[in-house]
Structure 1
Amino acid sequence: MWKQTLLQMIAAAVPYFAFQVWHDRAATRISKPFYLALFSICSLIIGFVVCASDNRLDMGFMFIPLFIGSLYGGYGAMAVLGSVYAAARLLHDGLAAWSLLELAGVTALVMPLLFHWIGPEFQAMDRRRKQLVLFALMTGVIFVHLTVFALYPDEAGLSFRALADLQGWTYIFLYYATAFVVVYLIENYMDRLRLNENLSQWMTQYRIEAQKLKQFVEEHPFGVIFAERGGVISHLNERARTMLRAGETEDELLGKPYSMLGGYAAGRVMTKLLEQALAGHASATEYAREQSKIYACMGISIRDPRGSGVIGAAVLAQDVTELSLLQGEAERMERLSLVGQMAASITHEIRNPMAVIRGFIQLMRERSPENQREYFRIVMDELDRANGIINDFLSMAQTRLSERSPASLHDLIDDLLPLLMADANMRGLTIELELADEMPLLLLNAKEIKQLILNLCRNGLEAMEERKGTLRIRTRAMPAHVELQVADDGHGIPRERLERLFEPFFTTKTQGTGLGLAMCLGIAERHGGTIRVESEPGAGTTFTVRFDRSAGG
């Protein structure tokens, strides 16, 4: 008896070990329930072969693969396993009354319970509840066996003939223990598979996010360098290598100490900022001049979110050469505008007395002798020539239409955006774009419109230095006109000052010439446009520049 019992235990348990090995090594990943159902059928057949060596077929342990394969494999597996069990029973015992009674009892009592528990409800159970379900099913089988034993004591299963002695109870214990161990092993393996699947998904998501970050850093207009806590370079993009004039490739620089970057001015500033950031010190924006280039650099400490301190550092560097040139150009044009207006005022004041002088000279000519009139004519001609020179100077001082070509406001904003973002970053401010979906081409002087946008944005950024906010740049395309809006979250402008806002030399800033907005107004008017300002104290200011499409054509 014990030899056959041991063989049945092995037949019931070994296929599940084979399932684990095959599933781990299989190239294809067919669903796990299919594998379990397949190996349960194999286990049932092996158990039948083992038991067939005896004159009477003991089907006790063969119910373990039947139940487990059905519970994990579903209704299809239950149909196949039930058919195999019935065929094995009929093939070995024929139409014996006790065998048919046992088959009918299992079919009428146990199989409905099995059918009830198959499905998502069983799959959602924890390990202990699954073992209890299997315990209930196997108890039902024992009840059927005992009933048959009571009716046919000489024909029933071999293991239950000695139910009253130790062998019978040992058999029942092994019967339950084998089932519990198999379920335990299956659930352990399933947990490991789920853990591996989750780990694989996390690793895939990690690779995707890492690739996104790497691509973002590579495409970013800033030069970016990352360093680990140990002081070695972990990543740097192409723009950073260009700024550093590094001859090495990225692979050659990775893993090297960041101190090797200090060969040029930009590298020395970046090295200093990395050192400060790794030490956990807050660093301000520093500028590095490299030949004709100017770089704005800022160091950032990368901290562990769990609070274990600094785990790395990064340096962001931007080429602000064009921004500096534009700022210098704007200041120069403000000074030139001031000089031009002063010169226009002076020449206007000179022309008025010259007109009086010419009038009196003409009167004196009419009253003078004939031989002296030629002298008066010469004086009047020279006065006329001087007046012509003054008129020409005034004409030059006045704003003239500059050369224009078809252009889009969006393209000009895109050209200035990196410079404006750098200026905003240095002030601790942000910029938001709300651009129209479509923007028609207008006849614009690109340099002047860029100056207009830059002046309005700089005014907005300067207005928010004391209260951090957001600068918003909007565009709208209407059927008859196009609008550009620049709005800030500054303190606003009092109503009594709005009327004088575009007057030359009038300013609301402590340091300013008062010519910037006057210059913007002149640029807008030369393009057939207007500027409107809306402001409330404490609510910010919005400048709206409107360009007519007809004027642009």
Structure 2
Amino acid sequence: MYKSFSPDEDNESGFIAPAMIPVFAYAFKEALIGMAVVNQQGDILEVNEVLCRMLGYTRRELLGMNKDDIAYAAVGTEDWVSRWKELAATKRLQMEKRFRHKDGHWVWTMLNVSLLPGTDGSFVYYVQLQDLTGRKAMEEKLERSRQELGPLFEYNPDIVCIVDMQGHIVSINSTMRQVTGYETDELAGHPCKRFIFPGDLETAAELFEAAKNGRTRTGEFNVSRKDGSWITVEVNTLPIQVGSRVEGIYAIAKDVTRRRETEERLRTSEKLSAVGQLAAGVAHEIRNPLTALKGFTQFLQSGAEGKQEYYEIMMSELNRIDLILSELLMLAKPKASEFAWLNPELVIRHVLALLEAQAILKNVEFLTNVDGSLSGMMGAENQLKQLFVNLLKNAIEAMPDGGLITIRLQEQADKRICFAIADQGSGIPQDLIDKIGVPFYTTKDQGSGLGMMVSRKIVEEHKGILQIESVMGEGTTVYVRLPINRESGEMEEKRK
């Protein structure tokens, strides 16, 4: 009779009761892993069906073997031999071990051996074998991939960073070391969020969460360099999958700092260009109320009656001057893109006030139609005003002989506000519409092409859509569809 062994028990306890022997035999037979009983000399005394299937032998074939007949015994297996010999003292053995299948290939297993003492001082070994073939094949595949892709990772011209599922940096490539100034050991083990601009943490978290769920995402945020400066990176996150499980994340990024700075300079240049072109109209617009104010002042000096009515007219003219100058400064002033809730109709009316003088000079009339009540929307006010100044200026310039520009605002079922700006110009050929927005491409004699490029960029930053429809001889309509909430626009992009 044998007793169960526990290192916390003395040698006189833990006997298997006779009534439990059938239970023990049943568990041995029905186990989901390979099971065997081996004597001190290594002879196989008993096996279960799972072990037979794992190694391809019949029970009768295995019972006639010694463990060494099937155990892997190549050079470097001294540890296996010595640890088996020490089992009598250690009572436990656990290791990864290969055993020979009947057809000749090797089966990787997790080997667990326990000592089962008998009442007469003898003992046998209770052996459990868990098949690791699938896992080992995956590990070998990953190692081959690592060796094959290692140079692609290390010498990739893009920034590449490997992140674990907890958001800690595992490894970085040479480009990231060069761009950030950090060495691998200075970043490895640290959480990514430590190096991300606080205002961008939510964006970064969304990218990494998507990758953890097996999806790829692209976004933009700012990260710190070792010297304390910040760079803007465009990041694409990809899941690292082992089988069906995500085990980590690749973050592949481009340093777009210079590109963003160039775009901002182009945008500022276009703003100043627009301001310069509006100057004549604004001067005309301001001169009119100033002339009126001068006249009323002289009239009041003469002692005229009904002064209260004149004061109201004068305040109205002063408020108009203040509005025009405020809008001009709003357009010209370099300002960070701060998103806030806006009244879309009010944005258009402010822009029209700024352009009204230029429209009068060009014999152009504005007609605004608002379909029903509009919801407020999330946007950057200075950017949106620049966008509509650009589009309305284009519409004015498309009608050198004057005409009507119709601005229609409509809230759509997909929670977007649609701004439609239609002119009565000569139209744009269909083959040229796709080129509009390309830097330095323009259909105007004295244009730069940067205005529409900046306009498209503003719409993209608002997660919106800009479309142009034109009929030769009838005119052009520009549709700008902006999400009421910028987050809803991001969700729409994800679905696409």
TM-score greater than 0.5 by the shorter chain: no
Larger Rg: 1
Greater strand fraction, Structure 1 or Structure 2: 2
Instruction: Give the TM-score of the pair, scaled to structure 2.
Output: 0.34
Instruction: Give the TM-score of the pair, scaled to structure 1.
Output: 0.31
